[in-house]
Amino acid sequence: MYRVMLIDDEPSARNLLRVAVDWKAVDMEVVGEAASGIEAINTIDEVLPDVAFVDISMPFMDGLEFTELATKRYPDLIIIIMTALDDFEYARKCIRLPVMDYMVKPAVREDVLETLRRAKKVLDEKAAKKAAAGAGAEQEEAQEVAGDYSSVDQIKRYIKENYTDPKLNLTSVAQQFGFSASYLSRKFKQETGTNFVEYLTNCRMRKAMELAATGMKMFCASEQVGIPDPNYFGRCFKKYTGKSYSEYAQERKAPSEDALI
């Protein structure tokens, strides 16, 4: 089945799309969701979608910015733009981007299915071409390994120097070092014992813990560690520390002078 990601800051919109469409009828399944473009950039390499429904109006990184970034990094990704604003200017901007369709929310179920049928046809054709060129892909992988002059230590250092960039992810680093994302993912896990996304998130969360201990506000800390979406940042922080940002900050707050007397 082809994999679908829903990117929208409204949970109700994601839920409606998830339950209203007969995904199996078009040989697809929803495998991931994101509530912002920032969250999508951070999780897309784990979800590995073939199709993404992207809302235009989202905080921190809107749908157009996400689409511009994603179409450069993931040229095979099929993007379907969704918006509640029936506005020609938005449509005009989208037309300049390599998207499959532009749909106004709430979309008609049959219109969505028709767009997905077209997406499936494109994906089927690409799959057939890849199957025919399978030997070439193996040769390309061998060339990547043979040309591996950059160690994982260099990549780790690059992450530590650039983790504050909210657009940093597995694919962008792979492109920086001349690898495919799949090869870098395997290589990184083999040599470090952890996957790339976990390593990047851990770098960010360790710094966030330091900032929390200084009493810095969460929205400031999230900006400084490269996750400017405070909701997504908060979930990452709690998963990493077992505590909310405010709880952690309060526990590590330096005692006042009065308390020392």
Domain ranges of the chain: 2-132, 148-261
Alpha-carbon distances, residue 139 vs 142, 144, 165, 229 (angstroms) = 5, 9, 33, 40
Rounded mean pLDDT of 225-237?
97
* pLDDT tens for each residue of 49-79: 999 999 988 989 988 899 999 999 999 999 9
Evaluate if pTM is beyond 0.95: no
* pLDDT tens for each residue of 5-51: 999 999 999 999 999 999 999 999 999 999 999 999 999 999 999 99
pLDDT confidence tier of residue 94, bands split at 50, 70 and 90: low
d(CA 71, CA 153): 29
d(CA 58, CA 28): 25
* pLDDT tens for each residue of 114-159: 999 999 999 999 999 888 876 655 555 555 554 455 689 999 999 9
Rounded mean pLDDT of 81-98?
73
Q: What is the CATH number of domain 148-261?
A: 1.10.10.60
User: Euclidean distance between the first and final Cα of the chain, in Å?
Assistant: 66
**What's the pLDDT score for residue 5?**
98
**What's the pLDDT score for residue 167?**
96
Q: How many residues does the chain have?
A: 261
In the predicted structure, residue 89 carries a pLDDT above the cut 70: no
Under CATH, to which class is 2-132 assigned? alpha beta
The letter for the amino acid at 1 is M
* pLDDT tens for each residue of 154-211: 999 999 999 999 999 999 999 999 899 999 999 999 999 999 999 999 999 999 999 9
**What's the pLDDT score for residue 29?**
98
User: Quick one: which of 189, 218, 197 has its CA closest to 41?
Assistant: 197
Mean pLDDT of the chain: 89
* Sole residue written with tokens 């998830």: 18
The letter for the amino acid at 15 is N
User: Does residue 149 sit in helix, strand or coil?
Assistant: coil
In the predicted structure, residue 258 carries a pLDDT above the cut 50: no
**What's the pLDDT score for residue 147?**
47
In the predicted structure, residue 260 carries a pLDDT above the cut 50: no
**What's the pLDDT score for residue 261?**
42
Percent of the chain with pLDDT over 90: 74
In the predicted structure, residue 259 carries a pLDDT above the cut 90: no
Alpha-carbon distances, residue 129 vs 15, 133, 136, 137 (angstroms) = 34, 6, 11, 11
pLDDT confidence tier of residue 257, bands split at 50, 70 and 90: very low
